[in-house]
Amino acid sequence: MYRDRPALLFDLDGTLIDSGDDLATSLNHVLRQDSLPALPRSRVLEMLGAGASVLVARAYAQHGAEEPADALARYRAHYRRHCLDSTRPFAGIRALLRRLAPDRAIAVVTNKPLDFAEQMVAGLDLDRFVRTVAGPETANSRKPDPEMLLAALAALGHGPEEAVMIGDSPADVEAGRRAGTATVAVLWGYRHRDRLAASAPDHLAATVDQLGELLIAS
């Protein structure tokens, strides 16, 4: 389907890597410091997608509590130390990237702060496959704004008509559509199928194998 498109833009959390346990652990560490109950992993995952500052704000709002001025800094400090404790690529992702990397230009495009994203891509040994990482600082925007995607494509030397945006959230789909890329929503991440289908991606991929069928010539 997209075997002739040379540029592939991947979301990070929920698409390439399962980071849910470490994100929830760091968030709940901060809540407990402020004598607030921990949130279940499933609830934390529902709040992801708009960046760390929004995640922390949403966590305090869940408890009807005012967010302390230093909460975000405490969250980031804990997460920096523990972001790779349990986080791993989803099953099959490393093998897929290995097949894609020789002939395709691969970028990570994430709402995670750029320094964290780069740390994790390198720490999980995915940097051998990924040519560039774009975060909110890259274009002073977050998905669904398309500017981050366009900046990544410029770094790769390709245009939107040559690219596919692959992610697990409606924001990924909207960002790809607004940038002018094809869009694939993956179903192994942190969003419900109904929400992803309602965002009208060009294709849904239920498994990593199905994604590979869309991207790689048989």
| CA 201/CA 34 separation, integer angstroms | 40
Cβ burial, residue 119 (10 Å; 0-12/13-18/19+): middle
d(CA 125, CA 139): 25
Q: Is 202 considered catalytic here?
A: no
**Exactly one of 11, 13, 18, 22 is catalytic; which is it?**
11
> Could you give the percent of the chain with pLDDT greater than 70?
99
Residue 187 CA, distance from chain mean position: 13
Domain coordinates of the chain in residue numbers? 7-18+87-215, 20-82
Mean pLDDT of the chain: 93
Asked whether the predicted pLDDT for residue 120 surpasses 90, the reply is: yes
Dump pLDDT digits (tens) for 50-89.
778 888 999 999 999 999 999 999 999 999 999 999 999 9
Note the pTM of the prediction, 2 decimals: 0.91
pLDDT at 38: 94
**Domain 7-18+87-215 class in CATH:** alpha beta
CA distances to 17, 38, 145, 187, 198 from 191, rounded to whole Å, are 14, 21, 19, 7, 11
Annotate 5-25 with three-state secondary structure: CCEEEECCECCCEECHHHHHH
Using an 8 Å Cβ cutoff, are 170 and 196 in contact?
Answer: yes
pLDDT band at 217 (very low <50, low <70, confident <90, very high): low
Question: Would the pLDDT of 218 be above 60?
Answer: no
Residue 1 is predicted with a pLDDT of 81
Query: Hey, what are 157's tokens?
Result: 């030397």
**What is the dihedral angle through the alpha carbons of 184, 188, 191, 195, rounded to the nearest 10 degrees?**
50
Q: What pLDDT score was predicted for residue 190?
A: 85
| 20-82, CATH topology level | DNA polymerase; domain 1 (1.10.150)
Torsions phi, psi for 130 (to 5 deg):
-100, 125
Structure tokens belonging to residue 54: 């929004």
pLDDT digits (tens, 9 = 90+) for 139-160: 888 999 999 999 999 999 999 9
What percent of the chain is helix, strand and coil (3-state, nearest 5)? Answer: 45, 15, 40
